Amino acid sequence: MAQVMNISEIKRQYPNEWVLLGNPVWDDYHLNVLSGIPLYHSADKREVYYLGKPLIAGYDKITIIYAGAFNPSKRSTIGILKRVNS
């Protein structure tokens, strides 16, 4: 059976990748994942969705996290600013 890892271990082992987690443990507000069982990982989010799907059987809960720094593109930020300033 796979090993439960805390979020710092997951980020260290799978930097800048999407990670499918089985039985995630959340903080009290259900905003942040604290730990879970890594089932599948890839730099491509769609790959994690499709190729990880057969691996979720037997888990009560699953989630997908990004184990890196999220940087929104300039294009989407500019688009939002234009709408706000108009």
Q: How many domains does the chain have?
A: 1
Does pTM surpass 0.85?
A: no
**SS3 state at 74:** helix
Q: What's the pLDDT tens digit per position in 52-81?
A: 999 999 999 999 999 988 766 555 445 544
What is the overall mean pLDDT for the chain? 86
Q: What is the mean pLDDT of residues 31-47?
A: 96
Query: Could you list the residue range(s) of the whole structural domain that residue 49 is in?
Result: 5-85
